[in-house]
Amino acid sequence: MNYFLHLGIYACIYSIVAMSLNLAVGYCGLLTLAHAGYFAIGAYTYALVSVKLGWGFLPAVGLGMAIASVASLAVSMSAWRFKGDFFVMLSLAVQSLLFSLFYNWFKADADFGTWANLTNGPFGIAGIPKPNIFGLQFQTIGSIALLAAVLAIACGVICWLLVSSPWGRLLKAMRDDELVARGLGKNTRFVKMQVMAIACAMAALAGSIYAGYVSYIDPSAATLDESILFVCMILVGGVGNFKGPLVGAVLLIALPEVLRFVAIPDAIAANVRLGIYGLCLVAIAHFRQQGIAGEYRIE
Amino acid sequence: MNNIIVKQSTRTNTKMSETSSVLMRFYNLFIQYGAQKILDGVSGELCQGDFICLIGANGSGKTSFMNALAGYLEPNSGGIVLLDNADSKSFTFPRSLWQRLNIFDGFTPEFFATIGRIGKTWQGGRSFATLSILDNIVVATADQLGENPLWSLLMPKRVRRQELKQRRAAIAALVKFGLDGRENSSADKVSLGQGMRVAILRVLWTCARILLLDEPLAGLDAEGKAVVIALLQELKASGMTIVIVEHVFNLPHVLDLATAVWKLENGKLLVEDAAMVNAELRRSLDHSDRVWLEELAGDRGSITDIELDGGAVLSIVSPNGVEFGQPILEVQNLGVMRGNRQVLSNISFTLYAGQIAVLFAPNGYGKTSLLDAIAGLLPCSGRVLLNGKPIHRLSAWERVERGISLMRARDNIFPNLKVREMLWLSGVADPPDNIQPFLEKQVSALSGGEKQRVVLACTHGRSSILQMMDEPFGALDAIGVKEVREMIEFGGQKVYLIALPANISGEKT
């Protein structure tokens, strides 16, 4: 049972990430590869303020989301002037910058959480407390699964309200022809800032749940591989509608689990997992550009 | 249409009744691309109620001038002043570094659209492809509550009420634009003419007081033109300020409404009398497409009109002395679906060596779909034979290898290539004289008419036995039209299939 609850928690976390990325990629046409960095911002913020300051889950998550929103300017301001391949390259630079911060903000002889050693570098932060909301402890895997599910549903409702609103329509219009949208008086720069801030804040929320559940965070959560995994989820599941990212997140969580029931050594299984992701992406690119359940074809 | 006009007039008619006021002033505008001067010290002003027809040869800078007035293109020097009652906002060029960095004082199209209330339409319409027609209109509404994500989350009912009101008004406007029943169609599934109507309606929806219209009649059939011209008349009567650039064939329609003609020549702006320009133009456009076809047929040739379902006519010209030989193109029971919509069904015709066929069809008929299906760009039912051999199962490039050449009306350029590179890519060894001056230019830097000439050179310059052209006269000036007509000539086995909007030159086919 615990195994399925574990999968459920991961599905919820990655569904939040996929829904947030869908706002930027699927609705706004901004293919960002920096999302793992914002996921890690949420995770590290939760880890630091809960371990060092004893903050509860909600304020810690709120702070993580706020920091991620502000940090999203690094990506959204790039989108003011660049699009397409150049924007992807700039988001990659932001990804590298964030990873570098998490990895290198470290001094061996200083206590972690101090200005000299904020992230503990490659050793990461262990012993992160489980979520605590108004004194209510989420210690068991079942209770954390419930919390993750509630937050995922809340994010889903928010995304649904947003994408079905005139704001969601404006995102699609910008994606189709930004110049014409500007000619209609739409401040597309500001809208890009809004969408990236919302998407990055949601990624940070997912990162906080992850840190609270696993009780450990290190810079590997902010690698380019993770960003590519997030992008794979939405490309395989599909973008530009509500259900596509959910399908992608659940599928890419569930597919590697099949390997558990096949007699493959653990060392090989990790590589096979990457192979499966790559295979999914190639198959989708060839046979169904809009993804399994998506609406918008990324060409 | 009334509700559109009311939407406009709520902010403009009161001032109109008092006096005609200046809305925009521009002075000493200078625009240069490399060594080429586009605008050379252009000055003037736009008053409320002006209906200006902007004319000039291809490449004279009409689109650049319009883009500068709409905030899309920053002139090299000069100034623009936007006036609204006592308020004014002025821009001088070149702008300082601080002005460029200041995001609240930007020379941007969104600023011009909101503060100057200037709306611009584009050649070809440029609809938002993945939105429905209705959403294309409603998205243009100014000051929508729901475009703030916080309002959408916290006050969804209020947002929905405002949205419903806008949608109802937009549906009523669509009916008056002859687009009833199409409100839920995806914008990329409608014809060029319908897309143009959507673009005009969309820009009206922003409550603009100055309209800059770039070829609004291009690609429209007779019915579509009548609708748009009636709308322009209403807008003019309501005091709307309009600057319009139009294709040479359609100029007489808009010159009838013009209060003045601005002519761009050698970078200078000349003001001419609309009636005189109109009379001169009508003399130069002395023959319509039908007359052109009759000239092609000659005394001993013949024109056969085949009426197709949906109001289209396929006029096949068989010239002097050409004997019917082997059929080159045979189309049998061709049908095309776009999504769930049957665009064409049971289309059958045969073209023999040496014939020129012109398909006159109304907007939405499926002219582009027909040519795309024959070229293999769209799946179709039925059979297509070229030189007696079936090609309907072949891919597009295989059909090209067998001698098909298609000039598309849209998506027909590679904007980031140089003209020379695009010609190489198309297999054209000897560029024609009329594009020699801009061989080393990037295609995206060309004017609309120059681009059209390049596209024609790319498709016409390669050897083919079936030459298909979708609206080849678009964006061309009178000289360009003459060049294209001279280019299309009888010769050996070659067959032409040309798609034109019904009644393109305003005369009955």
- Burial degree of B345 (CB within 10 A; 0-12, 13-18, 19+): middle
DSSP string spanning A184-240?
TT--HHHHHHHHHHHHHHHHHHHHHHHHHHHSEE-GGGGSHHHHHHHHHHHHHH-BS
Say whether A184 and B203 touch across the interface (CB within 8 A): yes
State how far Cα B352 lies from the chain centre: 32
Least confident of A70-74, A162-166, B323-327, B362-366: B323-327
Neighbours of B283 (CB within 10 A): 8
The tokens for A110 are 């200083």
Phi/psi of residue B301, nearest 5 degrees? -80, 180
Chain B residue with the nearest C-alpha to that of A167: B147
Residue of B99, B54, B103, B105 whose CA lies nearest to B82: B105
Contacts of B472 (CB under 8 A, 6+ apart): B407, B452, B456, B484, B498
- For B91, the token pair is 């821009």
Give the pLDDT mean for B350-368: 85
Within 8 A by CB and 6+ apart from B509, the residues are B288, B289, B290, B313, B315, B360, B502, B503
Q: Give the closest of A166, A176, A194 to B159, CB-based.
A: A166
Q: Which stretch of DSSP H or E encloses residue B114? A: helix B109-114
Retrieve residue B500's tokens. Answer: 């034109």
Q: What is the pLDDT of residue B2?
A: 38
The rounded distance, in Å, linking the Cα atoms of A31 and B284 is: 52
Give the separation between CA A13 and CA B481, rounded to whole angstroms.
61
Q: Return mean pLDDT, chain B.
A: 84
3-class secondary structure, B446: coil
Q: At what angle do helices A166-176 and A141-163 cross, to 10 degrees?
A: 70
DSSP E strand boundaries for B51-146: 51-55, 77-84, 87-93, 118-120
Residues of chain A with Cβ-Cβ distance to B126 below 8 Å are 177, 180
Residue B501 structure tokens? 């909007």
Give the whole-angstrom CA distance, residue A120 versus residue A110: 9
Closest of B105, B133, B174, B125 to residue A177, by C-alpha = B125
* Phi, psi (rounded to 5 degrees) for B506: 80, 5
For B106, nearest residue in chain A (alpha carbons):
A187
Contact A183 B146 (CB under 8 A): no
Contact A169 B135 (CB under 8 A): yes
Query: B244: distance to nearest CA of chain A, Å?
Result: 16
Mean pLDDT across B378-384 = 91
Is residue B183 within 8 Å of residue B167, measured between CB atoms? Answer: no
Q: Which whole number is the average pLDDT over B439-443?
A: 89
Give the mean model confidence (pLDDT) for residues B159-182: 91
Q: Judge whether B248 and B18 are in contact, CB under 8 Å.
A: no
3-state SS of B125-144 is CCCCCCCEHHHHHHCCCCCC
Which residues of chain B neighbour A177 with C-beta distances below 8 Å?
126, 128-129
pTM to 2 decimal places: 0.78
The pLDDT of B259-267, averaged and rounded, is 91
Distance from CA of B318 to the nearest CA of A (A): 44
Cβ B149–A162 below 8 Å, yes or no? yes
B499: closest CA among B411, B368, B364? B368
Residue A19 main-chain phi, psi, to 5 deg: -65, -40
Cβ(B262)–Cβ(B53) below 8 Å: yes
How far apart are the CA of A42 and the nearest CA of chain B, in angstroms? 22
Q: Do the Cβ atoms of B147 and A176 come within 8 Å?
A: no
Contact B44, B26 (CB under 8 A): yes
Nearest CA in chain A to B148: A167
* Residues B415-427: tens digit of each pLDDT: 889 999 998 988 8
Tokens of B266: 């050698």
Q: Tell me: pLDDT of B368 over 60.
A: yes
Percent of chain B with pLDDT over 90: 34
Q: Once rounded to an integer, what is the mean pLDDT over residues B316-336?
A: 81
CA distance A20 to A75: 14
Phi/psi for B118 (5° steps) reads: -110, 130
State the Cα–Cα distance between residues B190 and B194, nearest whole angstrom: 6
Sort out which chain B residues have CB atoms less than 8 A from A296's CB and list them: 130
Nearest to B130 among A176, A186, A189 (CB): A176
The tokens describing B70, both together, are 């709409």
How far is residue B287's CA from residue B509's CA, in Å, rounded to a whole number?
Answer: 12
Q: Chain A residue with minimal CA distance to B204?
A: A184
CA nearest A174 in B: which residue?
B128
Average pLDDT over residues A174-193: 94
Strand order across the beta sheet in which B389-390 lies: B341-352, B327-338, B381-386, B389-390
Query: What is the Cα–Cα distance from B455 to A15, expressed in whole angstroms?
Result: 47
Q: Is the pLDDT of residue B132 over 70?
A: yes
Instruction: Please name the amino acid found at residue B211.
Output: L
Query: When comparing pLDDT for B377 and B33, which is higher?
Result: B377
Q: What would the pLDDT profile of B234-251 be if each residue is shown by its tens digit?
A: 889 989 999 999 877 788
- Give which of A76, A160, A162, A184 to mutate to test B binding, by max B Cβ within 10 Å: A184
In this complex, do A161 and B206 lie within 8 Å of one another by their Cβ atoms? no
Confidence of residue A132 (pLDDT cuts 50, 70, 90): very high
Residue A185 and residue B135: Cβ atoms within 8 Å? no
Provide the pLDDT for residue B284: 65
Q: What confidence category does residue A299 fall into, taking pLDDT thresholds of 50, 70 and 90?
A: low
- CA-CA distance, A299 to A239, in Å (whole number)? 12
Q: Is the dihedral of CA A158, A161, A166, A169 positive or negative?
A: positive
Name the residue of chain B whose CA is nearest to A188's CA.
Answer: B110
10 Å Cβ neighbour count for B493? 14
For residue B86, which phi and psi values (nearest 5 degrees)? -80, -20
Say what the pLDDT of residue B508 is: 38
Helix (H) or strand (E) holding B389: strand B389-390
Helix locations, B155-297, DSSP H = 156-176, 192-204, 222-237, 251-255, 274-284, 289-297
Nearest residue of chain A to residue B160 (CA atoms): A165
Q: Say which residue, B116 or A144, is predicted with more confidence.
A: A144
Nearest in space to B183 (alpha carbons), one of B133, B224, B136: B133
Neighbours of A267 (CB within 10 A): 7
Q: Where are the domains of chain A?
A: 2-221
Q: Do B163 and A166 touch (CB under 8 A)?
A: yes
Q: Which residues of B touch A198 (CB under 8 A)?
A: 149
DSSP B326: S
**A173 touching B, CB under 8 A?**
yes
Distance CA B256, CA B263 (A): 16
Residue A130 CB contacts under 8 Å (≥ 6 apart), including other chains? A137, A138, A139, A144, A212, A213, A215
> Measured over all CA atoms, what is the biggest interatomic distance in chain A, rounded to whole angstroms?
60
Nearest chain A CA: its distance from B323 CA (Å): 48
Provide the pLDDT confidence category of residue B9 given band limits of 50, 70 and 90.
Answer: very low
Sequence-separated (6 or more) residues with CB below 8 Å from residue A102:
A40, A44, A119, A121, A219, A222
Sorted by where each starts, the structural domains of chain B and their CATH numbers stand as 22-125+208-223+241-284 (3.40.50.300), 288-403+463-501 (3.40.50.300)
Question: Which positions in chain B touch A162 (Cβ < 8 Å)?
Answer: 149, 152-153
Q: Which sign does the torsion angle of CA B27, B33, B34, B36 carry?
A: negative
CA A158 to each of CA A170, A250, B151, B162, B270: distance values in angstroms, whole numbers, following the listed order: 17, 19, 12, 20, 56
Chain B contact for A165 (CB, 8 A cutoff): yes
Q: How confident is the model at residue B5 (pLDDT cuts 50, 70, 90)?
A: very low
Q: What angle do CA B249, B252, B258 make, to 5 degrees?
A: 135
Beta strand B51-55 with B381-386: parallel, antiparallel or unpaired?
unpaired
**ipTM beyond cut 0.90:** no
B138 vs A contacts (CB less than 8 Å): 166, 169
What value does the mean pLDDT take over residues A189-217?
A: 96
Q: Stretch B299-319: mean pLDDT, rounded?
A: 81
CA diameter of chain B: 77
d(CA B373, CA B331): 10
Q: Which residues on chain B are in Cβ contact (under 8 Å) with A77? A: none
Residues of chain B neighbouring A167 (CB-CB closer than 8 A):
146-149, 152
Q: Is the pLDDT of residue B168 over 90?
A: yes
Please count the other Cβ atoms lying within 10 Å of the Cβ belonging to residue B169: 18
* pLDDT reading at A221 higher than 70: yes
Angle, CA B181 vertex, CA B178 and CA B186 arms, to 5°: 100
Rounded to an integer, the average pLDDT of A227-245 is 91
- Over residues A41-73, the pLDDT tens digits come to 999 999 999 999 999 999 999 999 999 999 999
For residue B16, the model assigns a pLDDT of 37
Binding-site residues on chain B for chain A (CB distance < 8 A): 70, 72, 103, 108-110, 113-114, 119-120, 122, 126, 128-131, 135-136, 138-142, 144-149, 152-153, 156, 159, 163, 202-203, 206
What residues form DSSP beta bridges with A137? A132
- A189 interaction partners in chain B (CB closer than 8 Å): 103
Query: pLDDT at position B191, please?
Result: 77
Hey, is the C-beta of A296 within 8 angstroms of any chain B C-beta? yes
Residue of A nearest to B145 (CA): A166
Contact B432, B457 (CB under 8 A): yes
Cα separation of A123 and A120, whole Å? 6
Q: Which residue has the higher pLDDT, A79 or A270?
A: A79
Q: Where are the alpha helices (DSSP H) in B367-406?
A: 367-375, 396-401
Which positions 9-48 of A are in contact with B (Cβ < 8 Å)? none
Bridge partners, residue B53, by sequence: B244, B261
Is residue B509 over pLDDT 80?
no
The pLDDT value recorded for residue B287 is 54
CB contact under 8 A, A170 and B159: no
Tokens read off for B438: 């801009």
Residue A15 has pLDDT above 50, yes or no: yes
Contact A176 B131 (CB under 8 A): yes
Tell me the pLDDT tens digit for each residue of A110-128.
Answer: 988 899 999 999 999 999 9
> Cα B359 to the chain's mean position, in Å?
19
Q: Give the pLDDT mean for B128-152.
A: 93
